[in-house]
Amino acid sequence: MDVLSGIEPSHGACISGACRKGGIARDFVSSVKDKRKDFDRSRKRQKIKREAWFIQQLPGSSTLIAFMETDDVEKAISDFAHSTDPFDIWLKDSARAITGIDLNEPRKDPVPETLLSYGF
């Protein structure tokens, strides 16, 4: 993952990666929306309270940004990385195809340091 920054160390994380295929990313999100019940179950299993995905257009590239809010960021990321649920496997494989990020590997670096927050 290129960047990991958080709002509150115990509450949120933002995962950002170069989006090599912006059009495919939009198609992928459309597929996730079609599987909304599976997505909701996945997020509940990992105890994620809120999640939002964004695409940032930059000169010559795009960045896919995913924000999640949970009580235990490290556990949520680890649980997702180790999940063998068919939907989670599909989600991780699809994300890797778009960004090159392997979400099967939990991060080994520390939880982000909060620099500024508002309303959290």
Cβ contact 25:98 at 8 Å: yes
pTM for the complete prediction? 0.75
Q: Give the pLDDT confidence of 37-67 residue by residue, as tens digits.
A: 999 999 999 999 998 888 887 787 777 788 8
CA angle 70, 119, 29 (to 5 degrees): 50
User: For residue 42, what pLDDT is reported?
Assistant: 96
Domain-embedded: residue 63:
yes
Burial 5-14 (b: 16+ CB within 10 A, else e): ebbeeebbbb
Domain-embedded: residue 108:
no
Distance CA(43)–CA(49), nearest Å, equals 8
Domain-embedded: residue 116:
no
The rounded Cα 71 to chain-centroid distance in angstroms is 15
Domain-embedded: residue 79:
yes
Chain-wide mean pLDDT for the chain? 79
The rounded Cα 68 to chain-centroid distance in angstroms is 7
Domain-embedded: residue 118:
no
Could you list the residue range(s) of the whole structural domain that residue 70 is in? 3-99
CATH of the domain at 20: 3.30.70
Distance CA(120)–CA(95), nearest Å, equals 28
Domain-embedded: residue 59:
yes
Domain-embedded: residue 107:
no
Q: What is the domain count for the chain? A: 1
Domain-embedded: residue 69:
yes
